[in-house]
Structure 1
Amino acid sequence: MDIDLNADVGEGGGNDDAILDCVSSISIACGWHAGDTDTMRRVLRAARERGVSVGAHPGYPDREHFGRRNLDLPPDTVYNGVLFQIGGLMALARTEGLHLNHVKPHGALYNQAAKDRALASAIATAVWDADPGLKLVGLAGSELVAAARSAGLTAVEEVFADRAYLADGSLAPRGIPGAVIEDADAALAQTLQMIRTSTVTALDGTSIPIHAQTVCLHGDGADAVAFARLLRQALISEGLTVRAP
């Protein structure tokens, strides 16, 4: 069985190079919620050197809140913004001899699109118009995954190693106690449960079905690199091949 291990990079966390040594794919911030063109180019080069698959990580134009604040934008505006961000990274990637593999929205845009079909459809259409060969990464079981398939794209269902879930399958909002799993053993146990049993235990104790095709780890925590190494080794020990989708 293959599993993708991914991280969001180019966001100013400082661990990018070390994280790149552990993952099979990355999603690169496109300058709206974080990052800039110099950082995008540098991360692309580092990924090329390591043979890591690359994708775009478009977000809301909200650097002040790191793209984590919900915005009420019309679908056409979201479409334009996502298409613009993909195009910028795509151009830089081309100069480095790379082809983008996927698109994964960031933060509030990702979470809102997980529940809002119109928003999800706007994102999926932008991805299709940028390149129909791009995969669209979305929260497992979400509207974004459904919209990707409806648009004719390959959807990649994502689970999170270090985020807690609610009973409806959505990620627990960061303001809720326990929303971020800070204990490495607990995060590792949740990840292996999702892969082994296709279930995850929500904060209220509910066991919910989940389909894990790619596992996201956040690379900006104090122990992010150590956890990334631990997680990769655990996946390999499970007999899994860590490979981009």
Structure 2
Amino acid sequence: MDLLQLLVLALIQGVTEFLPISSSAHLILVPVVTGWPDQGLAFDLAVHLGTLVAVLGYFREDVARMLLAWTGSLAGRSLDPDARLAWGVILATIPAVAAGTWLGISGESVMRQPWIVALASIVFGVLLGWVDWRARSGRAVVDLGLRGFLGIGLAQALALIPGASRSGMTIMAGRALGLSRQDAARVSFFLAMPITVAAIAYEAVQLIAEPVAAPWAMLSLAALLAAVAAWITIHLFLALLQRMGMMPFVIYRIVLGVVLLAVFGFEG
């Protein structure tokens, strides 16, 4: 991997990881446009670490409160809003982890066909726009209850379909349940933390099982770039979300899906 490939892919991963536009669609299209080889599992691990550091750092105060409240609930204290949010995030993570474990890397590879990514980007993008347009805000995150968090978790599990977008699916579910755009986005960011940890653990196990020589200095740079890009993206997304809504992302997803279909067609 040369420096240009590292810079481009790290920035793309950092920007698209938390936006409702499907990082997998971009990571399929970029090698076709550039002719670059696959970046490898070590690179994926590095950029996932970077985006995890970014989201944990950005929401560090929320995470600290949730951890304290959650550990307190284990000790028998009453469930305050932070504890309920922490338990909700745990519950919502279970469907995606279970589905990912069942699907495995081979199953995910089978679905990672360009036409599947393209159609998922378009169909779920349109659905995201419709739900956001029809949704009525007014429900607080603490009022979701376990059933609400489970619903968001099931939506997150559906995001294992490449092109669906984990962020897009969780925000859509949150909006359907009556959350404001910003609250739905914040829940999506909180859910990204344990899912990214699970992805990192899975990738680490694969690397331990099949060790590869890795340029650690370049991978560290990739992690740093992904972290910076993700931090800026989170900040701008939350700042502009209420004003612009989901429609710019819906339009972008449709265009991206059409481009993928134009390049690849429906070939498997």
What TM-score does the superposition give when structure 2 sets the normalisation length? Answer: 0.26
Higher RCO structure (Cα 8 Å, ≥6 apart)? 2
Larger radius of gyration: 2
Q: Per residue, is there more helix in 1 or in 2?
A: 2
What TM-score does the superposition give when structure 1 sets the normalisation length? Answer: 0.28
Q: Per residue, is there more strand in 1 or in 2?
A: 1
